[in-house]
Homo-oligomer: A and B are copies of this chain.
């Protein structure tokens, strides 16, 4: 069997952690499996490197930030390979470029174009464990680029797809995907399995266990992803896969949330073609990553346009919006910082409108005011005040009986 594993920063935070991870990898190797590992930088290394960069430059060029940040994963890959050698197993560390990971040339958030597996296959054929530095690849111009925060997940899933691995295991500091964040919802349970689309909605609306792009990639290439605790090997973890059990289609699977969201509303926007494009192009140019966008129905050729952003982008967003609003002759710009979101997620909710009603009723019953609503086929998100988020998650978790719902066994439903 061929397995790709990924170990996150908290799993390799210290030399002791690395030695424990090495033991686990060795056991798998001795079972006769071919093992490829994608590893993150140790603990807070990436943040430390960013701090260092901020001390030498107010605006470090993205290309150089990528050179700098890529070293974090190279360090942990070398250390993990050494720890394996110390246990008597043959391992080799490869940087993203050495592992054949080709990307586009977008610094700080490059996308994987393909993986040349020749060296990986050669090392595996020689009986070696291959430790790949996650989060990085080689752009066409031969520059080292990084794939965005948390992208060691993406590296792992891409490797699993390219190497036709039998399984892709993501080791993290929690026991799998939970029905809600257990830190604020004590009744939350780990799911035994979840569909790609549901997991994507969980990931993009605040469940930080898994990188959304990794889930997309898994969905695209049909890579089944097992999310497990690297600290508690007895926990079965959560399998992310293509759901095959029809009757699960209507269930709410989890409650996701974001504790820190800011909102910007432009009032009385002239309802002309191209206006929204102008605004969001200007935001993209300023590198503001926009989250949810809501535009109300037009009244007298005027509309209100609202979007949410990460608080880190709030100041930049306001600056851009005030400028563009003046240019296009819109009304006042209203904004609010201390907001959060809470989302109910489950396949097929769109075909069962009772879910939305139950969500809004539950929030009303708990005195939580809904500031904004946005939905997808399998998700309903409400923007609420930041201090209402935790209570909202607990109330919804109970209202949708997530604390009680029996969970299907992954093995029985996987394809």
- Pick from B63, B86, B93: contact of A67, CB under 8 Å: B93
Q: B119 touching A56 by the CB < 8 A rule? A: no
* Stretch in A75-83, A323-331, A395-403 touching the partner: A75-83
Rounded to whole Å, the gap between the CB of A197 and the closest CB of chain B is: 39
Measured between alpha carbons, how far is A60 from B18 in the docked complex, in Å? 14
Task: Tell me the A35-64 residues at the B interface (CB within 8 Å).
Answer: 49, 52-53, 55-61, 63-64
A410 interface contact, C-beta 8 A = no
- What copy number does this chain have within its complex? 2
A85 interface contact, C-beta 8 A = yes
Q: B71 touching A74 by the CB < 8 A rule? A: yes
Q: List chain B residues, Cβ under 8 A from A63.
A: 92
Q: List chain B residues, Cβ under 8 A from A335.
A: none
Q: A85 touching B57 by the CB < 8 A rule? A: yes
Rounded to whole Å, the gap between the CB of A98 and the closest CB of chain B is: 6
Q: List chain B residues, Cβ under 8 A from A61.
A: 81-82, 85
Measured between alpha carbons, how far is A170 from B48 in the docked complex, in Å? 30
Measured between alpha carbons, how far is A58 from B15 in the docked complex, in Å? 12
Measured between alpha carbons, how far is A49 from B78 in the docked complex, in Å? 11
Q: List chain B residues, Cβ under 8 A from A58.
A: 86
Q: B59 touching A86 by the CB < 8 A rule? A: yes
A68 interface contact, C-beta 8 A = yes
Rounded to whole Å, the gap between the CB of A172 and the closest CB of chain B is: 21
Measured between alpha carbons, how far is A19 from B55 in the docked complex, in Å? 9
Measured between alpha carbons, how far is A401 from B27 in the docked complex, in Å? 68
Interface of A is mostly: helix
Q: B83 touching A15 by the CB < 8 A rule? A: no
A235 interface contact, C-beta 8 A = no
Question: With A78-B64, A98-B142 as given contacts, are A57 and B86 in contact (CB-CB < 8 Å)?
Answer: yes
The 0/1 profile, CB within 8 Å of B marked 1, for residues 130-145 of chain A is: 0000000000001110
Measured between alpha carbons, how far is A86 from B70 in the docked complex, in Å? 21
Residue pairs across A and B with Cβ atoms less than 8 A apart, 29 shown, are: A15-B52, A18-B56, A22-B56, A52-B79, A53-B78, A53-B79, A53-B82, A56-B79, A56-B80, A56-B83, A56-B86, A58-B86, A59-B85, A60-B82, A61-B81, A63-B92, A64-B81, A64-B82, A64-B85, A65-B82, A67-B77, A67-B81, A67-B93, A67-B95, A68-B74, A68-B79, A71-B74, A71-B78, A98-B142
